[in-house]
Amino acid sequence: MRILRMLALILALLSVAAQTAPGKAQAGFDRLKTLVGDWQGALADGRTAAASYRLVSKDSVLEETLQVSNQETMITVYHLDGDRLMVTHYCAAGNQPRMVTTPDPNAPNVFAFQFLDITNLSSAQSGHMRDLVVTLVDKDHFTQQWVWREKGQEEKMELFKWTRKQ
């Protein structure tokens, strides 16, 4: 009986250690946290954009506020979801796609979020963001490539090139 108790204790300790050990998702989230601050962007068509990032909810969520000229402000939140990262994008289209990724240790600065599900979509043919690739170039530059889906067709949106405001 004593051996079973010891074994149960060891298993419990290992379980706690596994839950608290930083994994790929946590390491990726820590890299995304470096985006905290204000950013300016330019698009190929001449439009300008502004983004700001802040940590909220006891530093467990990275909140992005994105404003592209002549468009509604959009909010995107990044957070851990077990062993993966999740994004919920509160789109100017009025829907909320969720995307997930598992960070790749071979490409630690590239986050390829893929569509999981969506809320408030009026029909399967309605336009919505489908995927997002965030690439951390260096401490003062990153890019975002969004994929839009409408009427069953996907298209890459313009590449957002961001520079940290000094």
Domain CATH for 128: 2.40.128.20
Residue 143 belongs to a domain: yes
Residue 2 lies in a domain: no
- The DSSP call for residue 30 is H
* Model confidence pLDDT, tens digit, residues 52-71: 999 999 999 999 999 998 88
Kindly state the helix (H) or strand (E) to which residue 20 belongs, with its residue range. helix 2-20
Q: Using pLDDT thresholds of 50, 70 and 90, give the confidence band for residue 85.
A: very high
On whether residue 1 sits in a domain, the answer given is no
Tell me if 154 is assigned to some domain.
Answer: yes
At 16 the pLDDT is: 45
Arithmetic mean of pLDDT, 62-84: 95
Q: Is 82 helix (H, G, I), strand (E, B) or coil?
A: coil
**Amino acid 120: pLDDT:** 96
Q: Does 59 fall in a domain?
A: yes
Q: What local confidence, expressed as pLDDT, does residue 13 receive?
A: 44
Assess if residue 10 is contained within a domain: no
Render pLDDT for 3-40 as a digit per residue (tens, 0 to 9).
Answer: 655 544 454 444 544 444 459 999 999 999 999 999 99
Instruction: Determine the average pLDDT of the residues in 77-99.
Output: 97
CA 130, CA 116: separation in Å to the nearest integer?
A: 9
Would you say residue 7 lies in a domain? Answer: no
84-88 long-range CB contacts below 8 Å, 24 or more apart?
84/25, 85/25, 85/28, 85/29, 85/32, 85/111, 85/113, 86/116, 87/113, 87/132
**Is residue 102, in this structure, part of any structural domain at all?**
yes
Domain membership of residue 64 as a residue range: 23-164
Q: How many domains does the chain have?
A: 1
User: For the chain, what percent of residues have pLDDT higher than 70?
Assistant: 87
